């Protein structure tokens, strides 16, 4: 019984203990802490999604794609970083991007975002033809947590050359003055599109204006050149008095003819009246016949003083004849000496060897200089076999025309030889009492391979 009562008593005691355990309620302060922590975590999660949504580059690409579809240039370029110093025609630039293969471009940019962990280097985006279009640059928003991409478009640098200075050029009200010709001048940076370039210039012979389109059909290629050339027809001077003063439209240029290498360029739509004046030993002012740029013959403007040689004390006819014969002999000798020098100049590719025989600024000088310069680095040889003077004739302005028959053998860099039999006319001009070659015309050529 005792045993039974003991056992039964123990069981009753255990149930009493269990029923008497009461959970202690959470304090108000603890509740506030847990609610605050939970709220903060929630806010952080919400903020994370908001920030991610705001800066995620896919959103920018989607905006660009929508702008392409709607033809909204303003909206498109809000997502692109541009050079503020460059000119841009946004509508034309947008069409350029669309025609460059926007679908390919969009896909490339999406791949860059998907592979964002692969590299921190800039990524180039290309059009369908393999040309660079954009550069995507990774931009950190919060180090270690948030970043986005900047889509950058680089413009092209316009380099301008011209043949008349000083001159002024304008594109979209942006102006630049050019003070030197035959040099590249940095003008503007341009994004793809069509721009209207206008130019103004003036010289002794008049005022010039030009207008031409500048078409930019690349992006980020660096420098590109445009030749803004005014009418460039120039003329050599034929005269027997280089010390005569040049007059343009009745006004003196206060320059001697010898100070001009060539005359021009001239305005295309204006006829310019020219003449020269020279004072003889008696103090009389002599004038040449008026000419215009349209009076040029074989690229020359004639300023010969026809009366400059008339003198009451002219020598007897016999002396004039002797002088004429001596003049012809001098012309023959000049041409033959030139031919010897020319053979050496060709084989040495050295223009300076023949320079003393040529009239400065003449057509002959220009053409021969260009020809010899083109022979550099070519192993050509020239063998002059025969130089025969066929005739010597007088020309206007105390000049001479020497007709020749020339035979030579040309050997190219592979050793192949060609025999030439050629007839030429040499136009000589007297300058300060000395004959110079002004022009060389090839009349006939017979050639045969050896």
Asked whether residue 374 is assigned to any structural domain, the reply reads yes
284 and 325 in a single domain? The answer is no
Domain with residue 193: its CATH number is 2.60.40
pLDDT (average), residues 192-214: 93
How many CB atoms sit inside 10 A of residue 216's CB? Answer: 23
How many CB atoms sit inside 10 A of residue 155's CB? Answer: 22
147 and 167 in a single domain? The answer is no
Least confident of 88-92, 137-141, 361-365, 432-436: 137-141
> d(Cα 387, Cα 368) in Å, to the nearest integer?
18
* Of the residues 152, 167, 189, the one at which a domain ends: 152
389 and 442 in a single domain? The answer is yes
Domain count within the chain: 4
Using 50, 70 and 90 to split pLDDT, how confident is the model at 165? confident
410 and 423 in a single domain? The answer is yes
445 and 324 in a single domain? The answer is yes
Asked whether residue 308 is assigned to any structural domain, the reply reads no
77 and 144 in a single domain? The answer is yes
Domain with residue 372: its CATH number is 3.10.450.50
Asked whether residue 37 is assigned to any structural domain, the reply reads no
Which CA distances in Å does 342 have to 423, 434, 446? Answer: 16, 19, 20
Asked whether residue 305 is assigned to any structural domain, the reply reads no
Asked whether residue 138 is assigned to any structural domain, the reply reads yes
364 and 378 in a single domain? The answer is yes
Angle ∠(228,164,375) on CA atoms, nearest 5? 80
359 has pLDDT over 50: yes
113 and 141 in a single domain? The answer is yes
337 and 439 in a single domain? The answer is yes
* Of the residues 206, 227, 248, the one at which a domain ends: 227
- Residue 70 CB-density burial (10 A; 0-12 exposed, 13-18 middle, 19+ buried): exposed
Q: Which residue has the tokens 């031919």?
A: 339
326 and 445 in a single domain? The answer is yes
325 and 445 in a single domain? The answer is yes
71 has pLDDT over 70: yes
86 and 127 in a single domain? The answer is yes
- Adjacency order of strands within the sheet including 156-161: 185-190, 156-161, 223-227
* Of the residues 113, 131, 152, the one at which a domain ends: 152
pLDDT (average), residues 364-388: 91
Asked whether residue 7 is assigned to any structural domain, the reply reads no
Secondary structure tally for the chain: helices H, strands E:
8, 21
pTM above 0.75, yes or no: no
Give 420-438 pLDDT, tens digit per residue. 999 999 999 887 778 899 8
Using 50, 70 and 90 to split pLDDT, how confident is the model at 379? confident
Asked whether residue 279 is assigned to any structural domain, the reply reads yes
Give 209-245 pLDDT, tens digit per residue. 999 999 999 887 688 999 998 877 788 888 888 899 9
Q: What are phi and psi of 21, to 5 degrees?
A: -80, 120
Give 321-336 pLDDT, tens digit per residue. 444 677 788 899 999 9
pLDDT (average), residues 140-166: 78
Asked whether residue 30 is assigned to any structural domain, the reply reads no
How many CB atoms sit inside 10 A of residue 309's CB? Answer: 9
* Domain housing 376: 317-449
> d(Cα 27, Cα 35) in Å, to the nearest integer?
13
315 has pLDDT over 60: no
How many CB atoms sit inside 10 A of residue 117's CB? Answer: 6
The mean pLDDT value of the chain amounts to 82
Residues 6+ away with beta carbon under 8 Å from 101: 127, 128, 129
pLDDT of amino acid 327 = 76
pLDDT (average), residues 172-199: 93
**Two tokens, residue 303:** 């300023």
């Amino acid at each position: 019984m005792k045993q039974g009562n003991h056992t039964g008593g123990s069981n009753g005691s255990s149930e009493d203990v269990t029923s008497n355990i009461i959970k202690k309620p959470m304090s108000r302060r603890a509740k506030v802490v847990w609610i605050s922590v939970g709220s903060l975590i929630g806010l952080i999660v919400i903020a994370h999604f908001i920030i991610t949504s705001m800066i995620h580059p896919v959103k920018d690409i989607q905006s660009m794609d929508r702008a392409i579809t709607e033809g909204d240039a303003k909206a498109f370029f809000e997502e692109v970083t541009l050079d503020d110093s460059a000119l841009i025609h946004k509508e034309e630039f947008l069409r350029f991007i669309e025609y460059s293969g926007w679908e390919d471009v969009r896909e490339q940019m999406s791949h860059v975002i998907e592979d964002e962990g692969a590299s921190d280097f800039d990524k180039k985006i290309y059009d369908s033809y393999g040309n660079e279009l954009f550069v995507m640059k990774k931009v950190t928003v919060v180090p270690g947590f948030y970043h986005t991409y900047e889509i950058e478009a680089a413009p092209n640098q316009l380099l301008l050359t011209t043949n008349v200075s000083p001159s002024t050029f304008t594109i979209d009200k942006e102006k630049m003055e050019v003070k030197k010709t035959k040099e590249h001048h940095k003008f503007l940076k341009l994004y793809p599109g069509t721009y209207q370039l206008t130019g103004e210039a003036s010289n002794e012979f008049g005022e010039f204006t030009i207008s031409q389109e500048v078409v930019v059909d690349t992006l980020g290629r660096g420098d590109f050149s445009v030749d803004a050339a005014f009418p460039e027809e120039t003329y050599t001077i034929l005269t027997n008095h280089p010390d005569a003063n040049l007059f343009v439209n009745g006004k003196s240029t206060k320059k001697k003819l010898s100070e001009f290498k060539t005359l021009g360029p001239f305005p295309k739509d204006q006829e310019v009246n020219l003449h020269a004046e020279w004072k003889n030993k008696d103090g009389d002012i002599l004038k040449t016949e008026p000419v215009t740029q349209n009076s040029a013959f074989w690229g020359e403007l004639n300023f010969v003083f026809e009366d400059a040689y008339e003198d009451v004390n002219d020598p007897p006819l016999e002396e004039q004849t002797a002088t004429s014969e001596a003049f012809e002999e001098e012309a023959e000798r000049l041409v033959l000496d030139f031919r010897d020098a020319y053979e050496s100049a060709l084989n040495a590719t050295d223009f300076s060897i023949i320079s003393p025989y040529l009239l400065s600024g003449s057509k002959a000088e220009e053409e021969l200089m260009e020809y010899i310069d083109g022979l550099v680095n070519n192993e050509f040889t020239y063998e002059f076999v025969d130089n025969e003077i066929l005739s010597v004739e007088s020309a206007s302005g105390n000049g001479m025309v020497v007709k020749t028959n020339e035979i030579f053998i040309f050997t190219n860099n592979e050793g192949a030889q060609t025999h030439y039999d050629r007839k030429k006319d040499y136009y000589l001009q007297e300058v300060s009492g000395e004959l110079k070659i002004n022009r060389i015309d090839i009349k006939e050529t017979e050639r045969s391979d050896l």
